[in-house]
Amino acid sequence: MYCALRRPAVFRHRLLAIVHPPPPNSSRTINTTEQHGGNDNGKQTDWNLHRKVGITMALTGVLGLFVYKQSLTNDRNRVAGLNRLMPVVSAKTNSTSKRKDFNFIADAVELSAPAVVYLEIRDRQHVDFFTREPMTVSTGSGFIVESDGLILTNAHVVVSKPHTMVTVKLTDGRTFPGYVEHVDPASDLATVRVRCNNLPTLKLGHSADLRTGEWVVALGSPLSLNNTVTAGVISTTQRPSQELGLRGKDINYIQTDAAITFGNSGGPLVNLDGEAIGINSMKVTPGISFAIPIDHAKEFLRKINELPAGSDRHSATNAHTYRRYIGITMLTLTPEILSELQQRNHKFPSNVRGGVLVWKVIQGSPAYSGGLQPGDIIIQINGKEIKNSSDVYELLLEKDKKLSMTIYRGQQLITVHIFPEDTTV
């Protein structure tokens, strides 16, 4: 009945007219002369009335059911129309983790990290007072390129100080003595060998097709912190060595903003496919770092493979002999680098127009003993103005026993005295 009453008003009035019984005073008057037969007629009339009421109720139920079904159909159509007009917001959550889909840097590290090694350089002529072991003078990184133990690294990592020994630590914790096989000071590349087989290797990619803005990952052991990972983009694919003031080098470096510091040198710069596309070489300032393109390293390795067995470690490049040593790594301050440093560091001296930036000092070296520090800017040596790193090398060929260096340390102008060592690498 309730459903039937939901129809329009006329339909409701008709239903009520059928269901409502006639009032008592509306019945016809019965003749007294037909008194005897009136009871039967009255019973029949009551039965007919009940039958009509029952039929009416049944019809009403059928009509109500029909109206109810029709209203449900209309409601479904109305909801479907609203769904077409307005998007349905679902509270359903996706249980699948997004980490595997978007952690592309972690995927690259997973492929390349097992082949990265930690290099520790120790001085045989100086021992630790407590352990009586050779003192650690420098640390660096490298990566395995052949499964029989051939490691590629920077030359300045393994020959930065004479009378040293190299210790190689793998990612699984094993430690081996390393033997320097070949050195190329011109390209700052070297190979170290460990006596171990079945080692994980790092695939060498291609640096010729790199793009500016491409994601890269730097791996190594900065500040002796093993297995450190940093990421950034390629700032410039080809930065000529002349712009960096590097003497005797014909390399277009890869510039990146991936964080590189002391100890990262020699470690790989990899792309998102886990391939080595560069060898981390130097940091100028946070956000400006350089790597040697892997194509130069491939050429270096090719020359090594063409050498006869038992060749001298310097024979691949005809490297000259170093006779005077102070123990620093330098970078010429070109106008471009000076401008970048002055923009990034408000404490950088504004009156500096040239010189050499000291970006690494070997522990225990003459420069270290004389008080030279990373970040110092050398502007004069023994009264001679220093414009580039070549000026420093020329002074090291002279016989002066003492080098009086005028440097900027921050905005303070000071002088340090260094006594170079006469030695042969």
Residues 311-349: pLDDT tens digits?
A: 555 544 444 444 577 888 788 888 878 887 877 777 788
Q: Which domains does the chain have, with CATH numbers?
A: 111-194 (2.40.10.10), 214-301 (2.40.10.10), 323-423 (2.30.42.10)
pLDDT tens-digit series, residues 234-279: 998 988 776 666 666 678 899 999 988 777 889 999 999 999 999 9
* Cα 194 from Cα 387, distance rounded (Å): 41
Report the DSSP beta bridge partners of residue 405: 381, 416
Nearest to 418 by CA among 359, 351, 372: 372
**Amino acid identity of 390?**
S
193's enclosing H/E stretch is strand 189-193
DSSP 8-state symbol, 74:
H
Is 320 a known active-site residue? no
pLDDT tens-digit series, residues 351-385: 888 888 887 787 777 888 899 998 899 999 998 99
Q: Could you tell me the two tokens for 241?
A: 């060595």
Task: Please check whether residue 112 is in contact with residue 154, taking contact to mean a CB–CB distance below 8 angstroms.
Answer: no
Q: Find the catalytic residue in 184, 188, 295, 376.
A: 188
Task: Please check whether residue 285 is in contact with residue 341, taking contact to mean a CB–CB distance below 8 angstroms.
Answer: yes
Q: Find the catalytic residue in 138, 141, 156, 241.
A: 156
* Cα 367 from Cα 375, distance rounded (Å): 13
Q: How far is CA 57 from the centre of its chain?
A: 78
Is 160 a known active-site residue? no
> Which residue has better confidence, 212 or 306?
212
* pLDDT value at residue 342: 79
Query: What stretches of 223-298 adopt beta strand conformation (E)?
Result: 228-240, 252-256, 268-270, 276-285, 288-293
Is 265 a known active-site residue? yes
Mean per-residue pLDDT over the chain, rounded = 78
Q: Find the catalytic residue in 141, 187, 241, 265.
A: 265
Task: Please check whether residue 121 is in contact with residue 154, taking contact to mean a CB–CB distance below 8 angstroms.
Answer: no
> Which residue has better confidence, 372 or 22?
372
Scan for tokens 């010429």, then name that residue: 332
Query: What stretches of 286-401 adopt beta strand conformation (E)?
Result: 288-293, 324-325, 328-332, 356-361, 377-381, 384-385
For the chain, what percent of residues have pLDDT higher than 90? 29
* pLDDT value at residue 316: 45
